[in-house]
Amino acid sequence: MNRTLPLLLLFLITIKSYAQEDAWVYLTDKPNEATALANPISILTQKALDRKQNHGIAIDARDVPVHEPYITALKSQTGITVMAKSKWFNAVHVRGTETDISALLNLSFVDNIDFADNGLDLGSRSAAHQDKLNIEDESIVFTYGDTQNQVEMINVDDLHLADYTGEGITVAVLDAGFPNVNTMSAFQRLRDNGDLLDGYDFVNRTDAVYDNVASSHGTRVLSTMAAFVQDEFVGTAPDASYYLFITEDATGENPVEESYWVEAAERADSLGVDLINTSLGYTEYDNPNYNYTPADMNGQTAFITKGATIAGEKGILVVVSAGNSGATTWQTISAPADSPDVLAVGAVDANGDYVAFSSQGSAAQVGYQKPDVVARGGAAYVVSENDVITQNNGTSLSGPILCGGIASLWQAVPELSPTEVMDYVRQSASQYTMPDDFLGYGIPDLALARTLGVEEEAFNSFSVYPNPVKDELKFNIPVETNNLNITIYTSLGQEVRTVKLGQNVSNINVANLSSGIYMMKVSTQHQSKTLKFIKE
């Protein structure tokens, strides 16, 4: 018996030594960084450069690809398989034994190693779990058919009537599989208009994105935004353009899927994508050593969450399904919905009531609200991979329903930054002044969000002249602004005049006012600002 225990321990140690592990290998530098930044068109498309310029986003070292000779050197190391790479993190996701991965620290260009297994001393990450669907069973004047409720709930139909249907906005859908999108009649309009763009399967490293039939999740997700069946089904952004990227391996759960996601987000950034929609969420893996905890949903732990945050910094608006764990012991949102810089979308039913499966906010999100908003995810209508209209449950659907709506909104106010768009979506929501962990700020009204955005832009350019003034105070009134209420006060706060200005009414006679300093409050139904002028 005294010999058996040491032999058993030796056997267990040997198994541990040869088990395949996942890890992120962070590199020291990018030798080609200066050259690439001096010639940004060599690393980014013109559309990406234009988007960054329009939103004041700087091009920096994170835009430079990982140094390929470093990747080649890693691939040549004993027992190492390179699974993915990330230019934003200057990191490579590898798989191998703990011993072989640890040996990579001997390479001069390796800065540090972070194992997915928190029990290994070199670092940590964790968790994944796809937000699974629980399947239950050319005119701008659209007949929405089955989608009428989910479209009208967020008031995107008003945007469609104003000819804002997502035209000119590019969405990248990061999901599990898109079988038959290239042949289904529900996407015929999308294909005919040239709006079904490129695609890539990051899991199998192939352009054959429609051949991966392990999951039809992405097909159904895409349908909520882009499908069109005359008089029966209209997505929330039928005229937006779409890239389709497979990042989820439907055969299992492994942290490499987080790395695939970040790679795809980087590809989306380089292509000049405006919006990323993802109905994936990560919490737990097949290997429990990689698992996250609910406390890790703090916006700064998960690799994918940090990647989503960078995507936001790069000028992409990231819309993420909150998760389907509301009725489980996990309960809270999943990664990357926990990033404070993404729009996390929970689910309600056709009546606008919270559905139990929708993941909730928690104390892990310190100083910010999750979910951000909600849309219909209870018995929402989709088009299946068999080209049949059906109903599914899941925040997997509320997320893209709203994402498509935001694409239509952004077409209406293209000068707004991603942060401004998200802010106006939140401000338009049904319980903006009293958010909670179930519905966040509530159900958005995207037509109202457009009004808020237009008024904000109008206010930014509103001005009065001359100042000082003798007789007539003139206004520079933006074209989009109607029915401005002007109230003039003395410096002591006494109201002296109220005027309602319509479009192109551009002056007020102030000749009878006494000389002095006056305050002017300019307001609409939703916004106000105060200006000062001097009466000579």
What are the chain's domains?
Answer: 15-115 (3.30.70), 134-455 (3.40.50.200), 462-535 (2.60.40.10)
Please tell me the distance from the alpha carbon of residue 392 to that of residue 350, in angstroms, as a whole number.
Answer: 12
Which of the two residues, 115 and 528, has the higher pLDDT score?
Answer: 115
Q: Is 217 a catalytic residue?
A: yes
With bands split at pLDDT 50, 70 and 90, how would you rate the model's confidence at 16?
A: very low
Backbone angles phi, psi at 444, to 5 degrees: -70, 155
The letter for the amino acid at 104 is L
Please tell me the distance from the alpha carbon of residue 163 to that of residue 308, in angstroms, as a whole number.
Answer: 31
With bands split at pLDDT 50, 70 and 90, how would you rate the model's confidence at 91?
A: very high
For residue 126, pLDDT beyond 60: no
For residue 3, pLDDT beyond 80: no
Mean pLDDT of 247-267: 97
Mean pLDDT of 335-356: 98
The letter for the amino acid at 377 is G
Smallest Cα–Cα separation from 310: which of 262, 380, 360, 363? 262
Spatial neighbors of 410 by CB under 8 A, at least 6 apart, are 169, 274, 275, 317, 416, 421
Q: Is 523 a catalytic residue?
A: no
CA 267 to chain centre: 15
Cβ pair 90, 63 in contact under 8 A: no
Query: What percent of the chain has a predicted confidence (pLDDT) above 70?
Result: 89
With bands split at pLDDT 50, 70 and 90, how would you rate the model's confidence at 464?
A: confident
Please tell me the distance from the alpha carbon of residue 408 to that of residue 480, in angstroms, as a whole number.
Answer: 18
With bands split at pLDDT 50, 70 and 90, how would you rate the model's confidence at 187?
A: very high
What 3-state class would DSSP assign to 155?
A: coil
With bands split at pLDDT 50, 70 and 90, how would you rate the model's confidence at 499?
A: confident
Please tell me the distance from the alpha carbon of residue 308 to that of residue 296, in angstroms, as a whole number.
Answer: 15
Please tell me the distance from the alpha carbon of residue 289 to that of residue 116, in angstroms, as a whole number.
Answer: 8
409: left (phi over 0), alpha (psi -120 to 50) or beta: alpha
Residue 123 has a pLDDT of 39
* CA-atom Rg of the chain in angstroms: 27
Smallest Cα–Cα separation from 264: which of 252, 282, 276? 276
Cβ pair 343, 359 in contact under 8 A: no
Residue 468, preceding bond cis, omega within 30 degrees? Answer: yes
Counting every residue written for the chain, the total comes to 536
For residue 469, pLDDT beyond 60: yes
pLDDT in tens, 136-183: 334 457 999 999 999 999 999 999 999 999 999 999 999 999 999 999
Smallest Cα–Cα separation from 444: which of 480, 399, 482? 399
Please tell me the distance from the alpha carbon of residue 437 to that of residue 422, in angstroms, as a whole number.
Answer: 18
The catalytic position among 67, 129, 160, 217 is: 217
The catalytic position among 22, 114, 131, 175 is: 175
Residue 507 has a pLDDT of 80
Beta strands in 202-301 (DSSP E): 228-229, 233-234, 241-246, 275-278
For residue 468, pLDDT beyond 70: yes
Please tell me the distance from the alpha carbon of residue 521 to that of residue 411, in angstroms, as a whole number.
Answer: 31
Give me the helices (H) in 271-355, please. Answer: 303-313
H or E stretch covering 242: strand 241-246
Q: Is 396 a catalytic residue?
A: yes
Please tell me the pTM assigned to this model.
0.80
The letter for the amino acid at 274 is D
